[in-house]
Amino acid sequence: NHTYQVSSSISSFVSIFIFHMVKPCFHVSSISCFLCCLFVSSFFVNSLVSQPFPRPDQIEILLAFKNEFPILKCDFRKWPHSRITTKSWTRNDVKSFSGVFFDSETGVVTGLNVRGACLSGTLNANSSLFRLHHLRYLVLSHNYFDSFPFLPQLGKLTNLESLDLSHMGLPGELPSSISSLNRLTKLDLSDNELTGTFSPLLNLSRLSFLSLSNNLFKLIEIIQHLSSGNVPCSLLTMPFLSTLHLSNNHLTDSLETMNCSSSSKLETIYLSNNRLSGRILEPLSKFTNLKELYLSFQNTTDPFNFFSLGFKSLELLDLSGNAISRLNPGSPNLKELVLNNCNIEDFEGSPRMLLNSSLDALDLRSNAFQGSFPVISPRLSYVLASDNSFTGEIPLSLCNQTYLNLLDLAHNNFSCSIPRCLIISVQDVDLGNNNLIGRLPDLFYKLGLTRTLDGNRIADTFPFWLEELPKLKIIVLRSNMFHGPIYSPQHPLSFPELRMFDISRNNFTGSLPHDYFVNWSTPLLSTPQKVSQPLYMGDPFMYDYYPSMYLRNKGINMELEKIFLAYTSIDPKSSFEGNLNLCGRPLLESCFQDKVPSTPEAQEPEPSKQEQVFNWKAAAMGYGPGVLFGLAIGQVLYSYKPVLFFKLFRL
């Protein structure tokens, strides 16, 4: 065994070392010298022997666990991060145990992470996994077990502090064995098919994080299990619970029946995509420590009047997909407000109500706003207001945004020109499908990643200053009034990271050299390689904001709700079509200078239809008498001179 070999070598080395350390002391009649040498040598020996090595029995248990799953099944469509973790485990290489964490002092296994390890089949109740008695962290999520006889044995792992059984398809009620894991601080059971009550969880008094999202829990079943709705309150008021995920379940009743105390430590609650009815904010306002509240897509028509509620610490509120008629940012500490798809028509009070707010991010997408865009706080770093009916000019107040990273005003009715002071530091901007006119401002190029201006009436020459944006990924100028050449020897364009390019339906002119795309991104001009991890353009930390766009490629119109990072689009036809005077060999349309006209062969002019009819009649008139004359001559010859007739025709 590798560990024993190393230990034997250390013992031999230590023996030699002690001899050489102690030997000089025999020549000195000093006990203190001897003791000093012995102390130094023993300290050195201890430092060598205490070097951590995994215990051999732990290695054997891990290899036995590996052998329980001889067939590995990966489905990258379901979990693109899949990685065959256990395949590399070997007895002679400790570093090969990817996903395993050993205690540095005792050498026992304290953590096992086989997330997406392609394990398939059955995890049995007698699995070697339950011999790892020192486990503190266990992740089994995103595997493909077809049955779950191991669940009753989970209670044996009494040292567990973190357990992740998400994305496994666990059916039925919560396993009662979980109630024995009273050291748990984090439990993730999301994305399963669990039903029933939360009773097995009530003994887990140390829980700080609990995720039960994407299951089949029903509030009415939970309430009926114990009287007076005590289960929800018991869950919400667990002494250390700070984060609770209950999104995407079948919670369909009202929270108004809950009579919870305000002693909860909850800071984050996810209740999105349920069907809670009645008033929601009032019952939840009792939890005074709340900082993040996700309530999107419920049945409620609550007016959401924040000023009368107790949300003093609330920093993020997501009410998307609910029926809210007026906008009221409310809480003085609110940093992020998400109100897309709420059918909001106007602002409660003055449109300047947002000026003095503490908001950092505002999402007003897909509402029914009309009129002028509001005056907003200069602190905002994210402004999303696409798919509304805002009119007038883009407000000059946007010029005061010091920290603006994202501006999305697409699909509105803004008119006039883009303010010259706009967008000094913004990274992503989408002003597509408005009625903007004029030219692009001089400062429109700083630090850009995407530039989407399609569907306007901007009249300008091609923005050659785009070459100053080395990280630019998207250029969409489709359906405007841009004109002039798109090639200049003084401004050879180079886009090392460009993914999409569309300048169709403008008035660009001129010819392109054959090497026009030489300095462009190589993936843009080639077929993208397959990747196992689908990454998208956008900011997943900004309530899953991803830019979308309309695209025409290979003559087909399509809408990309998310833009795959590996996706590229430049089609010599679709990306340039509609520019009638734009040509060149990179495109399908050749310029007249490049055409070599072929010399047509001399041909007689095709007669007209009237001439054709006349010629046919003349031929018929000449053909008829000729036939009659020939028959008459033949009859005479045959009747009077038959010998001559046979000689002439060799009969």
Q: What secondary structure does DSSP assign to 254-276, as a single string?
A: BSTT----S-----EEE--SS--
Whether residue 524 is predicted with pLDDT greater than 80 in this model: the reply is no
When the pLDDT of each residue in the chain is averaged and rounded to a whole number, the result is: 76
Which range has the worst mean pLDDT, 47-56, 331-340, 563-572, 639-648?
Answer: 639-648
Q: How confident is the model at residue 565 (pLDDT cuts 50, 70, 90)?
A: low
| pLDDT above 90: percentage of residues in the chain | 33
Phi, psi of 642 (to 5 degrees): -60, -35
Which range has the worst mean pLDDT, 215-224, 475-484, 575-584?
Answer: 215-224
The pairing of beta strand 100-102 with beta strand 109-113: antiparallel
The residues that bridge with 172 in the sheet, in sequence order, are 194
Whether residue 205 is predicted with pLDDT greater than 80 in this model: the reply is yes
Looking at residue 55, its pLDDT comes to 93
CB atoms within 10 A of CB 612: 10
Which range has the worst mean pLDDT, 151-155, 176-180, 548-552, 646-650?
Answer: 646-650
Quote the DSSP letter at residue 606: P
3-state secondary structure 340-396: CCCCCCEECCCHHHHCCCCCCEEECCCCCCEECCCCCCCCCCEEECCCCEEEECCCH
Which range has the worst mean pLDDT, 285-289, 381-385, 562-566, 619-623?
Answer: 619-623
Which range has the worst mean pLDDT, 29-33, 89-93, 632-636?
Answer: 29-33
Cβ neighbors of 508 (< 8 A, separation 6 or more) are 462, 482, 483, 484, 485, 486, 576, 579, 581, 582
Looking at residue 350, its pLDDT comes to 63
Query: Whole-angstrom Cα distance, residue 36 to residue 545?
Result: 68
Query: What ranges do the domains of the chain cover?
Result: 8-49, 52-160
In this structure, whether the domain defined by 52-160 belongs to CATH 3.80.10 is answered with: yes
Query: Whole-angstrom Cα distance, residue 436 to residue 429?
Result: 14
Q: How confident is the model at residue 227 (pLDDT cuts 50, 70, 90)?
A: very low
Whether residue 554 is predicted with pLDDT greater than 70 in this model: the reply is no
Whether residue 194 is predicted with pLDDT greater than 50 in this model: the reply is yes
Buried b / exposed e along 368-387 (16+ C-beta atoms within 10 A): ebeeebbbbbebbbbbbbbb
3-class SS at 147? strand
Q: How confident is the model at residue 260 (pLDDT cuts 50, 70, 90)?
A: confident
Whether residue 365 is predicted with pLDDT greater than 90 in this model: the reply is yes
Cβ neighbors of 145 (< 8 A, separation 6 or more) are 119, 120, 121, 122, 123, 168, 169
Residue 148 or 546, more confident? 148
Looking at residue 25, its pLDDT comes to 45
Looking at residue 129, its pLDDT comes to 96
Q: How confident is the model at residue 531 (pLDDT cuts 50, 70, 90)?
A: very low
CA angle 291, 292, 297 (to 5 degrees): 150
3-class SS at 613? helix
Residue 324 or 369, more confident? 369
Whether residue 222 is predicted with pLDDT greater than 70 in this model: the reply is no
Query: Whole-angstrom Cα distance, residue 163 to residue 178?
Result: 10
Looking at residue 351, its pLDDT comes to 65
Residue 287's nearest CA partner among 209, 360, 233 is 233
Cα dihedral across residues 554, 557, 562, 563: positive or negative:
positive
Q: How confident is the model at residue 325 (pLDDT cuts 50, 70, 90)?
A: low
Whether residue 542 is predicted with pLDDT greater than 90 in this model: the reply is no
Looking at residue 126, its pLDDT comes to 95
| pLDDT above 70: percentage of residues in the chain | 66
Q: DSSP readout, 204-223?
A: -TT--EEE--SS---HHHHH
Model confidence over 15-49: pLDDT tens digits?
Answer: 444 444 444 444 444 555 444 454 444 444 444 34
Quote the DSSP letter at residue 288: T
Q: DSSP readout, 552-601?
A: EETTEEEEESS-BTT--B--TTTTTTT-TEEEETTSSSPPTTT-----PP
| Residue 390 · residue 370 · CB < 8 Å | yes
